[in-house]
């Protein structure tokens, strides 16, 4: 009698969700993303897609990271032409893997433009995945035109289940990840409402060792590449920014939304960010690097 791999994996994912006290659908989608990443890593296009964003944070910290089902990649040395990307992902989705129980329907591929205001617009790739009787669309956001300092790093992506083929990818350095999130903070400044960037940067400085020289280089390279000039009177590092009533209310709502058990005051987060990043903003001004 042939074993139903898909059904077995569904049951194991449900048990994992219970053990980790996670929502089953989030664990399921994360597994489907993992298996799509495996197919990218097993394809000739492995070196052209770099893991970044919240999916990289999950790869580093597992379920201790901010809960998210997003997956973000940087397209590196590959055209952002949508027809070209569709052809690439048709080949990626066609890679078979009996051990993981997942199939991706290449005929269901949809590609949509994102970040159209940027110099190099990105693409959202959507595809329907099948696991046993489950039919679930998953998506990957692919950005283009950014720089990685000092260079892409090799990463063993953590597996949710131990007996499926490993996922070996290329990824951002932590310093580049921080630099991009710092850029987002500066770019929006007083109007900044992307609280996940503040949360992620706080977690990175708190839980990981950051190379300060590489961080300075990554900030300089990222800000230059994104044409972000230095400006005085930045609100980001002021007491008024950290104590703003609406921002603090938004922060509490954000923690509640992601079901974060530990209560972290926004003032503590901003103290950490100020202590770790303000020096580089001053450094850029003094050396006129931006």
pLDDT of residue 102: 98
- The answer to whether residue 207 scores a pLDDT higher than 80 is yes
Per-domain residue ranges of the chain: 5-172, 175-287
| SS3 state of residue 287 | helix
- The answer to whether residue 2 scores a pLDDT higher than 50 is no
- The answer to whether residue 243 scores a pLDDT higher than 50 is yes
Q: 172 φ, ψ to 5°?
A: -65, 155
pLDDT of residue 105: 98
| Bigger pLDDT: 287 vs 214 | 214
**DSSP letters spanning 89-120:** HHHHHT---GGGTEEEEEEEEEEEEE-TTSSS
Instruction: Name, in order, each residue with C-beta under 8 angstroms of 206's C-beta and a sequence gap of 6 or more.
Output: 272
Identify the band that residue 1 occupies on the pLDDT scale cut at 50, 70 and 90.
very low
Percent of residues, the chain, with pLDDT higher than 90 = 77
- The answer to whether residue 285 scores a pLDDT higher than 70 is no
Under DSSP, the state recorded for 227 is T
| Bigger pLDDT: 234 vs 170 | 170
| Bigger pLDDT: 247 vs 64 | 247
Q: What is the pLDDT of residues 144-186, one digit of tens each?
A: 999 999 999 999 999 999 999 999 999 999 999 999 999 999 9
Least confident of 89-93, 109-113, 139-143, 193-197: 193-197
């Amino acid at each position: 009698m042939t074993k139903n791999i898909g059904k077995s994996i569904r049951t194991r994912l449900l048990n994992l969700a219970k053990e980790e006290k996670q929502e089953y659908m989030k664990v399921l989608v994360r597994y489907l993303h993992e298996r799509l990443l495996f197919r990218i890593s097993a394809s000739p296009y492995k070196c052209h897609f770099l893991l970044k964003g919240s999916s990289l944070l999950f790869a580093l910290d597992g379920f201790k990271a901010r809960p998210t089902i997003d997956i973000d990649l940087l397209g590196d040395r590959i055209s952002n032409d949508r027809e070209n990307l569709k052809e690439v992902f048709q080949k990626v989705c066609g890679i078979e893997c009996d051990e993981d129980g997942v199939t991706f329907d290449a005929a269901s591929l949809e590609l949509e433009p994102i970040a159209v205001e940027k110099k190099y617009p990105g693409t959202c790739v959507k595809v329907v995945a099948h696991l046993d009787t489950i039919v679930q669309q998953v998506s990957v956001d692919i950005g283009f035109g950014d720089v990685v300092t000092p260079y892409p790093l090799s990463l063993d992506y953590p597996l949710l289940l131990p007996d499926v083929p490993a996922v070996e990818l290329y990824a951002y350095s932590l310093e580049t990840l921080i630099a991009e999130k710092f850029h987002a903070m500066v770019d929006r400044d007083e109007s900044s409402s992307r609280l996940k960037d503040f949360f992620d940067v706080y977690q990175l400085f708190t839980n990981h060792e950051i190379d300060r020289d590489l961080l300075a280089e990554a900030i300089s390279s990222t800000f230059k590449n994104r044409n972000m000039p230095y400006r005085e009177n930045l609100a980001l590092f002021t007491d008024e920014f950290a104590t703003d009533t609406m921002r603090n209310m938004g922060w509490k709502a954000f923690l509640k939304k992601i079901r974060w058990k530990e209560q972290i005051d926004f003032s503590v987060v901003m103290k950490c960010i100020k202590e770790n990043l303000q020096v580089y903003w001053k450094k850029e001004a003094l050396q006129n690097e931006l």
